[in-house]
Amino acid sequence: GPKVLQIPSHQIIDMGQMVTLNCDPVSNHLYFYWYKQILGQQMEFLVNFYNGKVMEKSKLFKDQFSVERPDGSYFTLKIQPTALEDSAVYFCASSPPGTNTEVFFGKGTRLTVV
């Protein structure tokens, strides 16, 4: 079935450094999402993205966060600078238009800020 690919699967970074998480969404999908999950806890919505723009972002989407999808390539989440509390698994997802459709998730990138 359709797959969302996330690269890398695990990243360790020093606090204060910049990190970019990459996502290759399903090819014909138009909506893209990032979610944050701390181990054993809820999937928390961060941001969604359509037609080159952020549609909605949550309070968790701090000023240090940014998203883009340059030239229809990877959908990226950039954190600059990183903080210890940014340590979590970040899931990328994509979907076609409409809320009666499935949202496809990647396997996640585990970010560890040290």
Partner 1 sequence: SQWGEENLQALSIQEGEDVTMNCSYKTYTTVVHWYRQDSGRGPALIILIRSNEREKRSGRLRATLDTSSQSSSLSITAAQCEDTAVYFCATANTGYQNFYFGKGTSLTVIP
Q: Which residues would be at the binding site for partner 1 (CB under 8 A)?
A: 4, 31, 33, 35, 40-45, 48, 50, 55-56, 91, 93, 95, 97-100, 102-103, 105-108
- Of 85, 18, 16, 19, which is closest to residue 8 (Cα–Cα)? 19
Task: Pick the closer one to partner 1 by CB: 16 or 43.
Answer: 43
Shortest separation between residue 13's beta carbon and partner 1, angstroms: 20
Report the amino acid identity of residue 17: Q
Task: Pick the closer one to partner 1 by CB: 62 or 107.
Answer: 107
Shortest separation between residue 91's beta carbon and partner 1, angstroms: 5
State whether the Cα torsion 99-26-55-11 is positive or negative: positive
Task: Pick the closer one to partner 1 by CB: 28 or 42.
Answer: 42
Q: State the Cα torsion 83-4-7-109 to the nearest 10°.
A: 40
Task: Pick the closer one to partner 1 by CB: 30 or 83.
Answer: 30
Place of tokens 């999937």: 43
Report the side by side order of strands in the sheet with 75-79: 5-7, 19-24, 75-79, 65-68
Shortest separation between residue 52's beta carbon and partner 1, angstroms: 14
